[in-house]
Amino acid sequence: MKEFHVTGTCNPEWHYMVDISDRVERIARDYIAKGKYFTINRARQYGKTTMIFLLRKYLQEKYFVVSISFEAADELFVSPYTLAVGLQRSLGRQLRIQKFPDQLVKEWEAPISNDFAMDDFGERITDLCRGCDRKIILMIDKVDKNSDNQVFLGFLGLLRSKYLAWMGGVDITFQSVILASVYDIKNLKLRIRSNEETKYNSPWNIAEDFNMDLSFSPNDIAGMLAEYDADYSVGMDVSAMSQYL
């Protein structure tokens, strides 16, 4: 039997939850299909991780979707090389799980240059996207865990430069990049060096504004409660309870 769930990702097969399929479809139509890069930033316990989970599941019918989280990835941000190798390993595992062609996986997993790690990693992205028969979506959750790190900014800068080159017709890269965070990394307040004044400086200014309302209306909540009431026959006043919640 299903249950209510308030920690971590909700799964509609296991948990009672609001039906957000219409929002997932709108994101796919209005952002992904149009090749937009964007950030979903909302407060904790606001459903970001569940949105990412459901969006990934929906997109897999048409795209290859690779998703990672920076939740416990502090060791990746020691240097550009450690970040490139860490991302190579994390994404490589997903390429294998999703049964990417063996030759593409082999080329992706070849040793990365120690001296030009980010440049080399950018070339891997190009080769992967060129060789794949479906467009690729990159999704990263908890990106603000290391948003004050210069290595992380270098990674965002790489994605930005490849996006701009792609728009100019001189590169191939991810169809869309989705970053999920509590804070909007488009407006990072950073001090790159200790002797510099604090200023706003983010290479993620290519991101489209994401203004979709992720809050739940009484009508949204009513569907979830009606499903619960049908399972347990508690005689709930679904309308009144939905208004209350």
227 and 171 in a common domain: no
Q: DSSP class of residue 170?
A: S
pLDDT in tens, 59-73: 999 999 998 888 878
130 and 225 in a common domain: no
200 and 224 in a common domain: no
Q: How far apart are CA 147 and CA 155, in angstroms?
A: 11
116 and 208 in a common domain: yes
227 and 150 in a common domain: no
Burial (CB count within 10 angstroms: exposed 0-12, middle 13-18, buried 19+), residue 214? middle
Residue 219 backbone zone (phi > 0: left; psi -120 to 50: alpha; other: beta): alpha
Q: How far apart are CA 242 and CA 138, in angstroms?
A: 36
Q: Note whether residue 14 is domain-resident.
A: no
166 and 99 in a common domain: yes
How many CB atoms are closer than 10 A to CB 50? Answer: 20
Strand 176-181 and strand 189-190: pairing?
A: unpaired
125 and 199 in a common domain: yes
208 and 153 in a common domain: yes
Q: Note whether residue 156 is domain-resident.
A: yes
Q: Note whether residue 5 is domain-resident.
A: no
More confident residue, 163 or 15: 163
128 and 41 in a common domain: yes
Residue 192 pLDDT > 50, yes or no? no
pLDDT in tens, 95-109: 999 888 999 999 999
128 and 72 in a common domain: yes
Domain containing residue 95: CATH number: 3.40.50.300
Nearest alpha carbon to residue 181 among 46, 6, 30 = 46
Q: Please tell me the predicted confidence (pLDDT) of residue 243.
A: 86
The pTM is what?
0.82
| Residue 53 belongs to domain spanning | 21-214
Domain count for the chain? 2
Using 50, 70 and 90 to split pLDDT, how confident is the model at 131?
very high
Burial (CB count within 10 angstroms: exposed 0-12, middle 13-18, buried 19+), residue 109? middle
121 and 108 in a common domain: yes
pLDDT in tens, 19-37: 888 889 999 999 999 999 9
pLDDT in tens, 147-184: 667 888 889 999 999 999 999 999 999 999 999 886 66
138 and 36 in a common domain: yes
